[in-house]
Amino acid sequence: MTRADTHQAIEAVWRIEAARVIAGVARMVGDVGLAEELAQDALLAALEQWPAEGVPRNPGAWLMTTAKRRAIDQIRRRERFEARMPDLLHPETAEDEFEAIGEDTIEDDLLRLIFTACHPALTAESRVALTLRVLGGLSTDEIARAFLVPGATAGQRISRAKKTLADARVPFELPTGADRTARLGSVLEVIYLIFNEGYSATAGDDWMRPALCEEAMRLGRVLAGLMPAEPEVHGLLALMEIQASRSAARTGPSGEPIVLLEQDRSRWDRLLITRGLAALSTAERLGGGTYTLQAAIAACHARAATAADTDWHRIAALYAELPPSPVVELNRAVAVSMADGPAAGLAVLDPLLEEPSLRGYHLLPTVRADFLLKLGRRDEARAELERAASMTRNERERALLLDRASGV
């Protein structure tokens, strides 16, 4: 193995083990920021020692032990350490104790790490950056490239996150009771934000951007392993896997977007669909939730061999179960029109014309124009397309809408 190969092998081990090492150390020092730095020290030690001495037989345990030794050194140096952690006066005993920690404890620590990195005291940007850093083992540079920001900005997001957690004295523990549901919501939101950032990548972007989708799915699977009884954890995983299954079919040869109903379904990823449908059935069995409903809608498309086979009645029914919002209602109107015809769709859509939050939302008149056209009400359809054109800020879209209007 060349030196460069060894270096890459060490980094691969790091990415696999980073979260567990950081979580284990964080339980000792009670501070995620400090734990991450101590774990980084262990990585540096590995990069120094392994190329010369060879990669140890159990590299994860080596990293964990090295980081924990450094944590003990750190704790020893702290003031009032004697009063707070008398056990550590006998480092051998203390080390044995730490080494003897079982898999259950490590999993609890990992879960604590996830909840702490996604703590509501942090801004959304900081939660995302810190999660990728401590749970994904991503470098600051990789995070910067993934989010199209300068390295210094990504570094600030992480250091600010660590400082906020330390200043707010956020304990390294699992939320309980009613707090737990809200905090889990924040964790799922962070994972889905990471996924959507990757999903919005376009051709020519740095490869780190689409890689965020895989990172988010990996985090979703890790969380599903740690919290197997939580329906929405499986629901979110199902939603991400089914959405990601369409990645290859979403764009044409020159990078132009292809809408779902026009996609070549033979290019959908069957492995992700199979996995997504399995996760969905687990989520539904456990009781579901909002992500589960969204996944169930995505699954209606995934199950249909052709666009014409889509079960629009079920999609319309699922939209009706989602927490109501004008955009959900707009989507329901489309599903109803596909299921029961344009007149039925229009009946759902028209009350939305009074909705203040949709005033200026060009998709509303665009969808309405589609319904009106199908009903043969051409003058009204043309007026709606012109209205939509006046609302969009995207020049290409405006030209397209005006073009359609003049063709009516």
User: CB within 8 A of 12, min separation 6: which ones?
Assistant: none
Q: Of 57 and 80, which CB lies nearer to another protein in the complex structure?
A: 57
Question: Is residue 221 close enough to count as binding another protein by CB under 8 A?
Answer: yes
CA 369, 375, 378, 380 torsion-angle sign:
negative
- The window from 162-170, 215-223, 252-260, 301-309 that contacts another protein (CB under 8 A) reads 215-223
Question: Is residue 281 close enough to count as binding another protein by CB under 8 A?
Answer: no
Question: Is residue 248 close enough to count as binding another protein by CB under 8 A?
Answer: yes
Q: What is d(CA 277, CA 237) in angstroms, rounded to the nearest whole number?
A: 10
Question: Is residue 11 close enough to count as binding another protein by CB under 8 A?
Answer: yes
User: CB within 8 A of 211, min separation 6: which ones?
Assistant: 146, 198
Residue selected from 164, 247, 281, 290 as contacting another protein according to rule CB under 8 A: 247
- The window from 216-224, 284-292, 344-352, 390-398 that contacts another protein (CB under 8 A) reads 216-224
Q: How far is the CB of 17 from another protein (least distance, A)?
A: 10
- The window from 6-14, 94-102, 310-318, 345-353 that contacts another protein (CB under 8 A) reads 6-14
Nearest CA to 302 out of 240, 374, 233 is that of: 240
Question: Is residue 117 close enough to count as binding another protein by CB under 8 A?
Answer: no
Q: How far is the CB of 53 from another protein (least distance, A)?
A: 17
Question: Is residue 24 close enough to count as binding another protein by CB under 8 A?
Answer: no
Q: Which SS3 state, helix, strand or coil, does residue 148 take?
A: coil
Q: Count how many Cα atoms sit within 13 Å of the Cα of residue 15 in the half-sphere of its side chain.
A: 13
Q: How far is the CB of 106 from another protein (least distance, A)?
A: 10
Residue selected from 78, 180, 267, 359 as contacting another protein according to rule CB under 8 A: 267
CA dihedral 401, 405, 406, 407 (to 10 degrees): 100
Question: Is residue 12 close enough to count as binding another protein by CB under 8 A?
Answer: yes
Residue selected from 96, 214, 350, 403 as contacting another protein according to rule CB under 8 A: 214
The conformation of residue 209, written as its DSSP 8-state character, comes to: H
Cβ contact 138:127 at 8 Å? no
The count of chain residues that interact with another protein, using the rule CB under 8 A, is 25
Cβ contact 191:227 at 8 Å? no
In angstroms, the Cα distances linking 160 to 67, 123, 129, 150 are 23, 10, 10, 16
Residue selected from 178, 271, 305, 308 as contacting another protein according to rule CB under 8 A: 271
Q: How far is the CB of 257 from another protein (least distance, A)?
A: 14
Q: What is d(CA 333, CA 331) in angstroms, rounded to the nearest whole number?
A: 5
Residues in the chain: 408
Residue selected from 101, 193, 211, 278 as contacting another protein according to rule CB under 8 A: 211
> Where does this chain bind another protein (CB under 8 A)?
5, 8-9, 11-13, 15-16, 107, 210-211, 214, 217-222, 225-226, 247-248, 267, 271, 275
